[in-house]
């Protein structure tokens, strides 16, 4: 084969490869519920399902960590969500008993609950700890939650705890989750969970949580007053415009965002793939207008700090779900939309387990976010003393 023909075939092959990449990119960005243009899409891991559990906090933050490892240039890992959930149950149980049953002992939690486990116990792979020992193919914590709560209430009812109550509680967790692994196989080595995070160079202290509410001073830390903040962790507080600037800056610079907020708003629909706040009140819309709001671009309300504070104070916005922001999109009218990875599985709704929350929706309904501290704009980091 002569050199000219070889070069020609190589050139045609290269064009084909480039066209393939373009097609892949188009498939990723064209399948949106309304016309949107991709500004930034961050590589993430596969969508998983929390199934019948209240562990969205673990699924969202685990996805966030997996995505951080990809950003750091590490291999793709499937980490165990139930590893974090099991340790959180132990910590919650201790507080529940110490507070005479007055502390929150539910299945919910926050992003820092995962990082708090990582700091003390590292993390493990899904293969090492699937967390299902009750004859089911998917997670189901209905019986587990009932049994654990009943046991703790029984401990309290006795009014004089024995020194073995924690050991018995841990045994219950072993029955449902399985015994905790002591090592993780990594590149033909057996590493402890703490050695695993050191091997990967992952530092949980590099991550911070931020919120935006005006009942606390800005540029300070405060304890976010929501039931699932059972550990009373602190959040940085910044003005709403700067809060949104942080989210956009992070995504544009390749950092994903762990998102905590309200999805009970009428403008949120996983099935329709959108979270929106139409300018016209839902109660004033006809059925046709209601449907159109989810199928075409509509004008949305201008959300202020006061609007946001009001829905927090009257409990119409609560911390009922955590998800993972992995991309930034823009509509023809200039409004931003945030590509959001959910934990309800990839086949339950269209768009492969993802959805798109509008800028107005995120402004109004976000409780808090977790980001890498390097994802902060420098001026905002300076104001926070970071």
- Residue-wise pLDDT tens for the chain (386 aa)? 444 444 444 333 343 333 333 333 333 445 899 999 999 999 999 999 999 999 999 999 999 999 999 999 999 999 999 999 999 999 999 999 999 999 999 999 999 999 999 999 999 999 999 999 999 999 999 999 999 999 999 999 998 889 999 999 999 999 999 999 999 999 889 999 999 999 999 999 999 999 999 999 999 999 999 999 999 999 999 999 999 999 999 999 999 999 999 999 999 999 999 999 999 999 899 989 898 899 999 999 999 999 999 999 999 999 999 999 999 999 999 999 999 999 999 988 889 999 999 999 999 999 999 999 999 999 999 999 99
386, 365, 362: which is closest to 375 by C-alpha? 386
Q: What is the CATH number of domain 34-383?
A: 3.90.70.10
Q: What is the pLDDT of residue 138?
A: 96
Query: What is the pairing mode between strands 321-330 and 336-341?
Result: antiparallel
- Note the pLDDT of residue 160: 85
Domain spans in the chain, listed from the N-terminal domain onward: 34-383
pLDDT of residue 30: 55
Whole-number Å distance between alpha carbons of 259 and 89: 22
Tell me the pTM: 0.91
């Amino acid at each position: 084969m002569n050199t000219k023909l070889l070069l020609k075939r190589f050139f045609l092959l290269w064009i084909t490869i480039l066209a393939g990449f373009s097609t892949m990119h188009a498939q990723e960005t064209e399948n949106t519920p309304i016309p949107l243009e991709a500004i930034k899409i961050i590589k993430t891991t596969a969508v998983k399902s929390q199934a019948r559990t209240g562990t969205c906090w673990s699924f969202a933050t685990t996805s966030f960590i997996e995505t951080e490892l990809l950003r750091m240039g590490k291999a793709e890992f499937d980490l165990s969500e139930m590893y974090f959930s099991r340790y959180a149950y132990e910590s919650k149980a201790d507080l529940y008993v110490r507070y005479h049953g007055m502390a929150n002992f539910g299945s919910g939690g926050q992003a820092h609950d995962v990082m708090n486990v990582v700091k003390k116990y590292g993390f493990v792979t899904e293969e090492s700890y699937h967390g299902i020992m009750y004859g089911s193919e998917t997670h189901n914590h209905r019986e587990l939650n009932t049994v654990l709560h009943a046991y703790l209430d029984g401990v309290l009812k006795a009014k004089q705890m024995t020194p073995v109550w924690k050991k018995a509680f841990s045994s219950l967790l072993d029955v449902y989750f399985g015994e905790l692994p002591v090592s993780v196989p990594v590149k033909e080595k057996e590493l402890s969970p703490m050695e695993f995070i050191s091997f990967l160079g992952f530092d949980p202290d590099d991550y911070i949580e931020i919120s935006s509410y005006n009942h606390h001073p800005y540029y300070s830390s405060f304890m976010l007053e929501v039931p699932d903040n059972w550990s009373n962790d602190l959040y940085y507080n910044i003005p709403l415009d700067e809060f949104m600037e942080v989210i956009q800056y992070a995504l544009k610079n390749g950092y994903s965002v762990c998102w905590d907020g309200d999805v009970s708003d009428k403008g949120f629909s996983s099935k329709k793939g959108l979270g929106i706040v139409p300018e016209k009140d839902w109660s004033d819309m006809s059925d046709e207008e209601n449907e159109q709001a989810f199928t075409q671009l509509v004008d949305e309300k201008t959300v202020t700090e006061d609007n946001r504070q009001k829905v927090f104070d009257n409990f119409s916005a609560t911390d009922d779900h955590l998800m993972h922001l992995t991309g930034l999109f823009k509509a023809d009218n200039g409004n931003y939309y945030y590509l959001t990875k959910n934990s309800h599985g990839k086949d339950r709704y269209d768009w492969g387990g993802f959805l798109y929350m509008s800028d107005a929706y995120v402004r109004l309904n976000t409780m808090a976010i977790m980001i890498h501290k390097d994802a902060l704009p420098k001026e905002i980091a300076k104001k926070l003393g970071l």
